[in-house]
């Protein structure tokens, strides 16, 4: 499956931004989806995940309550709505896909099979 993330940009602290990830190539609803981010000099870290049906979600503690992941299987799209943004949210954000095989949503980069190219999010203070 091919993934393309978009929607990044420059936003002030406290602001909001919505990232989108378009999927193509395979049956989108067969995949759990994840969002990850990577700041300069740091390892890529988990942000959020959503099950193939959209019925289950999972968030990293540092974004819980501020970010919301959703998907539209009719459009082959997954979204990350980010609110109350902080300068420490500045990073390149990536969407990723893994074939849905269990009820456990995955949070490790090694568990995902497909990756998008990333979109830059910069939060100014």
Give the model's confidence band at 20: pLDDT under 50 very low, under 70 low, under 90 confident, else very high.
very high
**Do 49 and 35 contact (CB within 8 A), yes or no?**
yes
**Do 20 and 6 contact (CB within 8 A), yes or no?**
yes
CA distance 32 to 19: 17
15's CB contacts (< 8 A; 6+ apart) are 85, 123
Indicate the Cα dihedral angle 24, 92, 6, 33, nearest 10°.
Answer: 40
The pLDDT of residue 103 is above 90? no
CA distance 31 to 77: 12
The pLDDT of residue 102 is above 90? no
Quick: pLDDT tens for 54-98. 999 999 999 999 999 999 999 999 999 999 999 999 999 999 999
| Residue 55 CB-density burial (10 A; 0-12 exposed, 13-18 middle, 19+ buried) | exposed
The pLDDT of residue 26 is above 90? no
The pLDDT value given to residue 25: 87
Encoded tokens for 119:
């979109």
């Amino acid at each position: 499956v091919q993934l393309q993330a978009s929607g990044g940009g420059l936003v002030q602290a406290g602001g909001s931004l919505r990232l989108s990830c378009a999927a193509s190539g395979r049956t989108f609803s067969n995949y759990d989806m994840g969002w990850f981010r990577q700041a300069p000099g740091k390892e890529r870290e988990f942000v959020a995940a959503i099950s193939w049906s959209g019925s289950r979600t999972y968030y990293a503690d540092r974004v819980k309550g501020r970010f919301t992941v959703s998907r539209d299987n009719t459009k082959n799209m997954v979204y990350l709505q980010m609110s109350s943004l902080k300068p420490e949210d500045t990073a390149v954000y990536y969407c990723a896909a893994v074939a849905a095989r269990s009820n456990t949503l995955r949070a490790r980069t090694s568990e995902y099979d497909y990756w998008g190219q990333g979109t830059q999010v910069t939060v100014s203070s």
